[in-house]
Structure 1
Amino acid sequence: MIEYKDFLIDVGKFPLNIGPSHPATHGVLRVLVQLDGETVVHAEPIIGYLHTSMEKCAEFKTYHQAETITDRMDYVSAASNNLGYILAAEKLCGVKAPKRAEYVRVILAEFTRISSHLVWLATHAVDIGALTEFLYCFRERELILDIIEAITGARMTPSFYRVGGLAMDIHKDHIEKIRDFIKIFPEKVDEYESLLTKNKIWLERTKNLGIISAEDAINFALTGPSLRGSGVDYDVRKANPYSSYEDFDFDVPLGDSGDVYDRYWIRVEEMRQSLKIISQAVENIPEGEYLSYDEYPQYVIPPKKRALTTMEGMISLFKYGMEGIKPPKGEAYQSIENPRGELGFYLVSDGTAFPYRMRVRPPSFCNVSALNEMTKGHLLADLIAIMGSVDILLGEVDR
């Protein structure tokens, strides 16, 4: 890392701090910039201002309690983080969730992807000066949060998944709510595009800016839209399917230039593809149990009806809540495709009710590393557009 004193050595170059308290950094990110006039010579992202220690905190919580940490890590796409963690815990226990639960997990994960992209598009547009887009995007995000709240009971931090399934089953009224959203959303995405996609000012602020080649994107370990914007066809849902993603037909949009505009277009197209997945999941959701309690009673919480009507179920519920589950000694890693890229959870069990170790591979942490490469030679005003196009979330970076 280049220190501030090193910046002062170059006579004629001007050092400038952006953040860690600046609206355009979308969190407590500090970017130490070296300028030649208004041209960026170097942009050093400096992290570590949150000090959340979420990975360490997980070691002092049961496997069920630790789920609540994961959705605070990325509060914009909490259900995706919950899914990655629960899949890792299930792999550790050797548990498989019922097909019905897997489909509901996919529905929630894809709604979360759309919601996250809407927040990104709204704030990114504001950064560049397109204020109307913000109002449009948050209009539909509210509808999505209404659906998530109806299903899970919480709008932003649901912690709804359980080892072996879900906290509750999905109901017919939820499905009707989802169908209503599916009918209206395609034309809303068209509205977003009508404001920006061919807008002359938007094109000038995004085209041929922040270009990163496919080779450099891979070398920087970029994932998600930041990688696919450079034309690299990698999506964990396709490469290593999980939670029944192999059952769904969807496309992975790819960019050509690896610039700010490509990263914008990919996220817009991903919203359409997510809706396509949700439509298939809702229309083909399997019947059956939402928890695999019968197959794995030592690891799975009993369904509420069984807990309230049988002695065995009541005892299991009390032991689950008071003692937690105790996976066998071992380790497990699971990665998923969250809205920002590949999110991985590594869990180590020592046979107790508390994870011996939890380690997270966060996409934002890797994606921010390429910021200097993307911004060299551009104007200071362009740095804001480039930084926004990466979609960094600092809660995940400083976990």
Structure 2
Amino acid sequence: MMAQEHAYSLAVEKLLNCEVPLRAQYIRVLFCEITRILNHLLALTTHAMDVGALTPFLWAFEEREKLLEFYERVSGARMHASYIRPGGVAQDLPLGLCQDIYDFTRQFASRIDELEEMLTGNRIWKQRLVDIGTVTARQAKDWGFSGVMLRGSGVCWDLRKAAPYDAYDQLDFDVPVGTRGDCYDRYCIRIEEMRQSLRIIVQCLNQMPSGMIKADDRKLCPPSRSQMKLSMESLIHHFELYTEGFSVPASSTYTAVEAPKGEFGVFLVSNGSNRPYRCRIRAPGFAHLQGLDFMSKHHMLADVVTIIGTQDIVFGEVDR
């Protein structure tokens, strides 16, 4: 979702040496954390449904609907938004959206509490997750795990802290880390990450400055319709941008973000034209799925479902 387009946009901006306005940076972070909550809600509750708890899944979709409406209000789309673009974001936040997001953060904390009341201390839930799919810190590093799969094994590594991008270096949040490296630790980390995302969202709303939401470069970002009506040059830039695109100096970069499922990286090579010479995606699920074999050893067949659920894999990104 928006985390993926965020990584690609950062890679293009790095090749262009482009500076993104501060307001656009905060908007990007705001929606990336909304995306994190969307992801973790789905991952946790479908995992619970696979193990045998249906109610959390039904609760979660009520909350996800509210978040997807925020997507829809800024981009017109509920899933593939194309909202984060090289140079900034597609358009500014509509009136009233910030207040609605703030209202959501106030009530959603209690929804997380309700999820925890149903699962965290549940005897059956703990029997299915504790000491299942254990991964040591060394194994997590050797297999190239990232995100919750890495932090669950006790490795405190989060790109938002280790290599901050956009406005993350101006925000205060904690990185939850596990101790046992089992499925239950990874569940607890995702719960806590949703709470930390709420902290980040509130800070973004409080600290977000006014100003531009796109880079002031008409060869990279299209002019507004009002500008096109007044300036022939703006009209020409708009026409060229949507017919030919923009050229990127010959160079290469690997740029990664802390996506909800782990490190999502883009290796981008430009030959100076308006099309990438090479674009390679580093998706976290590919490495995580490879670890399924050793994580499942000495467990029952039913535990494989638990392990796959806690890996939070989207099979589209492992189809190579």
Shared fold (TM-score, shorter chain, > 0.5): yes
| Aligned equivalents of 2:230, 2:93: Cα separation in 1 | 21
Shift of residue 371, structure 1, vs aligned partner: 0.9
Asked if the contact 1:291/1:302 (under 8 Å) is kept, the reply is no
Whole-Å separation in 1 of the counterparts to 2:223 and 2:265 = 28
Identity %: 44
Counterpart amino acid of residue 387 in structure 1: I
Contact 1:291–1:303 (Cα < 8 Å) also in 2: no
Does the 8 Å CA contact 1:222/1:366 hold for their aligned counterparts? yes
1:329 maps to 250
DSSP 3-state at the match of 2:273: coil
Query: Would you say how many aligned residue pairs link Structure 1 and Structure 2?
Result: 320
Post-superposition shift, 1:305? 3.1
Residue number among 303, 307, 317 corresponding to 2:228 in the alignment: 307
Aligned-residue offset at 1:309: 3.1
Indicate if the aligned counterparts of 2:265 and 2:283 stay in contact, CA closer than 8 A. Answer: yes
**Contact 1:122/1:138 (8 A) holds in 2:** no
Residue 97 to residue 352, structure 1, CA distance change in 2 (3 Å): same
CA contact (8 A) 1:212 1:258 kept: yes
Contact preservation (8 Å) 2:73, 2:94: no
* Secondary structure in 1 matching 2:276: coil
1:171 positional shift:
2.8
- Equivalences for residues 58-97 of structure 1 within 5 A: 78-97=1-20
What's the counterpart of residue 28 of structure 2? 105
Distance in 2 (CA, whole Å) between partners of 1:297 and 1:306 is 11
Q: Relative to 1, partners in 2 of residues 1:216 and 1:174: Cα closer, same or farther, differing over 3 Å?
A: same
Between Structure 1 and Structure 2, whose CA radius of gyration is higher? 1
Q: For 2:266, which of 345, 351, 371 is the aligned residue?
A: 345
Alignment deviations for residues 12-68 of structure 1 (CA, whole Å, 9 cap, x no partner) = xxxxxxxxxxxxxxxxxxxxxxxxxxxxxxxxxxxxxxxxxxxxxxxxxxxxxxxxx
Q: Structure 2 stretches of 5 or more lacking a match?
A: none
Counterpart-to-counterpart distance in 2, 1:144 and 1:363: 24
Once residues 229 and 126 of structure 2 are traced to their aligned partners in structure 1, the CA distance between those partners, rounded to angstroms, is 60
Alignment of 1:1-399 (within 5 A): 78-293=1-216, 296-398=217-319
Q: TM-score, normalised by structure 1?
A: 0.79
How much has 1:326 moved relative to structure 2? 0.5
Q: Would you say the 8 A contact 1:121–1:137 is kept in 2? A: no
Shift of 1:398: 2.0
* 1:304, distance to aligned residue in structure 2 (A): 3.8
| Cα distance per residue 1:203-238 (max 9 Å; x no partner) | 000001000101111111100001100110000100
Structure 2 distance, partners of 1:309, 1:393, is 47
> Which amino acid in structure 2 is aligned with residue 228 of structure 1?
R
CA distance in 2, matches of 1:99, 1:386: 40
- Runs of 4+ in structure 1 displaced over 6 angstroms? none
CA-based RMSD of the aligned residues comes to 1.1
Letter in 2 for 1:226: M
Deviation at 1:321, TM superposition (A): 0.3
How far 1:370 sits from its partner (Å)? 1.1
Q: 1:279-322 CA deviation, whole Å, 9 max, x = no partner?
A: 000111111111112xx333222234323432221111111100
Letter in 2 for 1:303: S
Q: How high is the TM-score relative to the length of structure 2?
A: 0.98
Q: Using the alignment, how far apart are the partners of 2:215 and 2:106 within structure 1?
A: 33
